[in-house]
Structures are given as structure tokens and as C-alpha cells.
């Protein structure tokens, strides 16, 4: 496996302020699904069947979503989404839409990190990164895309982005 290390998120080379909307994490989380299971011991709620999660501008659609709460802080610690593929989208502070899809999406709230596993794809404004896995540290705007042994990481940069 060959990692591709990008010090700046490839899609926002020309946009200095492309952080996710800061207000999103202050918004309530709405989840619709066909069924829900609560495990109070592990502080997990499992949503299954055509699951739709919304928080501010964040939208996640999947077949299964697992939400884990931090017992001490009484706040969401982790969101895991599973699908063929699971998809997400979010507005950035500059009004652009960041979207992605993968067989599994793991969002660690405390570390502000998104890990996409299995046919991962991240896109914005026609720019695309594809790999077997993508790890995106949102606040630091750092991205690592990995390929499997028989695939390669693919990046498409639109001319206006590549020239800047």
C-alpha cells in the first residue's frame, strides 16, 4: 500500500478557508431509520434500514449507523455508517459542498477525523480523490489516501484548481 500524503486538502488548494461549517456541531442530530436498538451498557444506538442522519449542513445516508456516546461528557463520541455505499455531504464555511462515499464511514467527533473505508471517494467542485481508504483530519485539513495492493489512489483536479 502506498499512502498519498497531502498537507492541504487537494480540493481546496485555491480556497484558504474551506473548513466545515463551525455551527454544524452545535446543531441537534436528527436520525430517521426503519429500526433502532439501544444498548445502555455500551452507550450505543444502532439505526438500521434506510438511515438518514442530519446535523446542520451534515447529511449521512446509510443502511446502518452506529452512534456511540461518551459517558462522562454525555455527548456523541463516534458515528459509524455502513452501506454499499454510505454517503455524506457537508457545506464548508465558504459555501461549497464536500461530499463522499465509502462502504464504511467512521467519524471521531473528539479528534475531528473522518475515516472512509472500502471504495472511498471524496469530492468537491469536480475534484475527486478515490482510494481503498481515505483518512481526513478535518481541522488540520490533512488527508491521507491509501490504495490496496491491486489498486492505486486516483486524484482528479480541475484545471482552475491545478493552475493555482
Per residue in 81-136, pLDDT (tens digit) is 999 999 999 888 788 898 999 999 999 988 888 999 999 999 988 899 999 999 98
- pLDDT reading at 48 higher than 80: yes
Task: Specify the pLDDT at position 8.
Answer: 31
Please state the rounded mean pLDDT for residues 26-39. Answer: 92
Q: Within 10 A of 162 (CB to CB), how many other CB atoms are there? A: 12
pLDDT value of position 150: 83
Q: Pairing mode, if any, of strands 97-108 and 44-55?
A: unpaired
Q: What per-residue string of b and e applies to 64-79 under the rule 16 or more CB within 10 Å gives b?
A: bbbbbbeeeeeebbbb
What pLDDT score does 13 carry?
Answer: 33
pLDDT range class, residue 142, cuts 50, 70, 90? confident
Is 33 within 8 Å of 52 (Cβ atoms)? yes
Rounded to the nearest 5°, which phi and psi values hold at 161?
-80, -45
Q: Which fold has domain 28-156?
A: lipopolysaccharide transport protein A fold (2.60.450)
> What pLDDT is recorded for position 151?
85
CA dihedral 45, 48, 51, 54 (to 10 degrees): 0
Q: Write down the pTM of the prediction.
A: 0.82
Q: Which residues pair with 59 in a beta bridge?
A: 54, 89
8 contacts 141 by C-beta, under 8 angstroms: yes
CA distance 121 to 99: 8
| Greater model confidence, 48 or 160 | 48
* pLDDT value of position 60: 95
- Region of 118 (left: φ > 0; alpha: ψ -120 to 50; beta: rest) is left
Give the Cβ contact number of residue 32 at 10 Å.
Answer: 12
Amino acid at each position: 500500500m502506498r499512502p498519498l500524503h497531502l498537507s492541504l486538502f487537494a480540493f481546496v488548494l485555491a480556497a484558504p478557508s474551506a473548513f466545515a461549517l463551525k455551527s454544524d456541531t452545535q446543531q441537534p442530530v436528527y436520525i430517521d431509520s426503519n429500526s433502532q436498538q439501544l444498548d445502555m451498557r455500551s452507550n450505543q444506538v444502532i439505526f438500521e434500514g434506510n438511515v438518514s442522519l442530519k446535523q446542520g449542513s451534515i447529511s449521512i445516508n446509510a443502511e446502518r449507523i452506529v452512534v456511540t456516546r461518551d459517558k462522562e461528557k454525555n455527548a456523541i463520541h463516534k458515528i459509524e455508517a455502513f452501506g454499499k455505499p454510505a454517503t455524506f455531504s457537508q457545506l464548508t464555511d465558504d459555501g461549497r459542498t464536500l461530499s463522499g462515499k465509502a462502504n464504511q464511514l467512521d467519524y471521531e467527533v473528539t479528534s475531528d477525523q473522518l475515516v472512509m473505508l472500502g471504495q472511498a471517494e471524496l469530492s468537491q467542485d469536480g475534484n475527486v480523490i478515490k482510494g481503498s481508504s481515505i483518512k481526513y483530519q478535518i481541522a488540520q485539513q490533512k488527508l491521507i489516501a491509501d490504495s490496496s495492493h491491486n489498486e492505486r489512489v486516483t486524484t482528479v483536479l480541475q484545471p482552475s484548481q491545478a493552475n493555482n
